[in-house]
Amino acid sequence: MPNNKRSKKHKRKNHCDKNNDSTGNLADLSSNEDDINIMNEDFEKLKLQVDKPYQVKYSEIYGRYLVTSRDLKKGEILIETDALVIGPCAESLPICLGCYVDLVIVPRKYQCPDCGWILCQQNCPGIHTQYGHTVWECQSFKEHKLASLLLKCDEKDIRFMYEAILTLRCLLLKQFNHEKWTKINEMESHNKLRRNMPSLWNRNQELIVDRIRHQWGYNQYTEEEIHTICGILEVNSFEVGSNGFRARALFPEAYLICHDCQPNTTHTDDPLTHKLHLRSTVPLKKGETITLSYSYTLQGTLKRRDHLHESKFFWCTCNRCRDPTELGTHASTLICPKCTNGFILSTDSLNQNAEWKCKKCNYKVSGKSILILLDRLFDELEVLDPNSIKDYEEYLKRYANVLHQNHYLMLSVKHSLCQLIGRSDGFLINELNLSQLERKEQYCRDLLAVVDVFEPGMSRLRGIICYELHAAMMMRITREFERKTINDNQLRRTLREIVKLLQEANEILKIEPVGSSEYSMALAAQDALKKMGNI
């Protein structure tokens, strides 16, 4: 995700200084057809500029950032833009450089007949296209014999080789697409900050800079240029892809969006066109700062801020980070071991080393001890069988007296359970007993209550939870109706709630890319609404 722009000093280009002496008189216009076409193109560009729902602002704290230029409804598109460049993620598994499908799952590989690089198939739709294995990339790989180097790599080095590909693609734009190269170099690299992080800087020097210049032979690029591109990618790239492919990309304009741990926008990327679509998730007033979360919203403040500092090079000070209760959700709160019913909170949530204290009995814990505990509980969670409902539910019981029910580790477990219960072998939705349905419903409600605060409005996660909650409720009342344990009023009230959940799930998820699991949920929600009719 892009970075919070705290040190940007770039100036905007003036796109509207042509024809300043024009009188606006029709008689002054040339009758030349080419001139008319150029005028029409300029008009369309000007119209697009005027109609943009955002404008660029500048501050000493944030640098350049985006605000709304008019009032917006929830779900309105703010930015729709093509990628500047796409390529493998950091430490990527081998993927097709044409379509980005995971090569591990491809039964038979195909070698490009020109450069010899391994692709997914002869008819890969990304061969010799601007967002895939371009003609100039193919020629360059052939000249530098990169495919032969790939064959000599061990499994670990292959990952680093793929990681360096996107950096090289950016560098090749300097020669083959200067307009894109210029736009990319307008982005922040935070070189000064990154130089003071030896582990990161030295890693890039060894695995990317030296690889591109010496091992691959692209010594026309300076070390500074390559480090700058590394920084631009680390700070500004978006993860893209779904259903079998994963990559990262740079987009114009979108990189100027500020971070907030309670964002007011969401984004999708089209796997076919590689366009980025950024939408408002809630109504926005004119002049509001447009925000996006660069971190996982269902993460506690300590870990979230640490991630942002390590990956985006700033300490977040948003309203959520300032509040030890995380806007009243208690997503980082621990249960006091001394008085057993008090809440332990950070005494200063903007200080990673601050002491933690029980609000009831004043029992104190050092910040270091809290981090050790969180790491231990996270490690324990990571080794659980990801498909075991039993293991996850035992984790919830085991730490019910240690972690608040809304603690981010508990939410992570509940998130998994929301999707496992009703979709796993032996636990399909129509196989669940009443107790299991009630538990699934409660997990969904617990999760939704927190997500409503962290990702209000039309967020993808809210849409998914709404759909999962409706499924549990529908099957529950079916069971209760069969047992005659629900009266007519309860039935109607529950059905009305189910309809609202389906409507919300459909509204949110229908904008997801066609073919994605989320889009399939939207179609299922639409179908369910049709079957339910007017309730």
Query: Given 222, 250, 278, which residue is the final one in a domain?
Result: 250
pLDDT per position as a tens digit, 314-351: 999 999 999 999 999 999 999 999 998 899 999 999 99
Residue 472: which of 507, 442, 508 has the closest Cα?
442
Residue 51 CB contacts under 8 Å (≥ 6 apart), including other chains: none
Per-residue pLDDT, 7 = 35
Could you tell me if 195 and 120 lie in one domain? Answer: yes
In this prediction, the residues of the chain whose per-residue pLDDT falls under 70 are 1-50, 243-244, 534-535
Per DSSP bridges, beta strands 258-259 and 247-250 are: unpaired
Same domain, 325 and 359: yes
CA 161 from chain centre, in angstroms, equals: 24
Whether residues 389 and 460 share a domain: the answer is no
Domain that holds residue 456: 421-535
Which pLDDT belongs to residue 342?
A: 96
- What confidence score (pLDDT) does residue 310 get? 93
Does 269 lie in the same domain as 153?
no
Residues 119 and 195 in one domain: yes
State the Cα torsion 352-234-269-123 to the nearest 10°.
-140
- Number of separate domains in the chain: 4
- 386/409 same-domain check: yes
What is the rounded CA–CA span in Å between residue 117 and residue 128? 13
Considering the domain boundaries, does residue 24 fall inside one?
no
User: Looking at residue 424, what is its pLDDT?
Assistant: 92
In a domain, 2, yes or no: no
Q: Is residue 4 part of a domain?
A: no
Longest dimension (CA), the chain: 87
- Terminal alpha carbon distance of the chain: 42
Boundary (domain end) residue, out of 187, 219, 250: 250
Asked if residue 329 and residue 380 are part of one domain, the reply reads: yes
Beta bridge partners of 80: 277
Query: Is 434 found in the same domain as 379?
Result: no
Flag whether 26 is in a domain.
no
Q: For residues 491 and 477, give the distance between their C-alpha atoms in angstroms, rounded to a whole number.
A: 7
> What is the model's pLDDT at position 62?
79
| Phi, psi (degrees; rounded to nearest 5) at 138 | -60, -45
Residues in the chain: 535
Alpha helices (H) along 383-459: 389-398, 408-420, 434-454
User: What beta strand segments (E) does 275-422 contain?
Assistant: 275-280, 291-292, 334-335, 343-346, 356-358, 364-365
Same domain, 472 and 497: yes
Mean pLDDT of the chain: 89
What H or E segment, with its residue span, contains residue 175?
helix 155-176
pLDDT of residue 521: 97
Instruction: Answer yes or no: are the C-beta atoms of 215 and 149 closer than 8 Å.
Output: yes
Helix (H) or strand (E) holding 530: helix 517-532
Of 260, 292, 324, the position where a domain reaches its end is: 292
Asked, for residue 499, whether it belongs to a domain, the answer is: yes
One-letter identity of residue 34:
D
Is 55 a domain residue?
A: yes
pLDDT of residue 225: 98
pLDDT of residue 156: 85
Both 63 and 169 in a single domain? no
Both 217 and 91 in one domain: the answer is: yes
**34, part of any domain:** no
Two structure tokens written together for 144: 């530098």
500 and 403 inside one domain: no
Residue 32 domain-assigned?
Answer: no
The CATH number that applies at residue 78 is 2.170.270.10
Question: What confidence tens digit (pLDDT) does each residue in 66-104 have?
Answer: 999 999 999 999 999 999 999 999 989 999 999 999 998
- Tens of pLDDT, residue by residue over 199-242, are 999 999 999 999 999 999 999 999 999 999 999 999 999 999 87
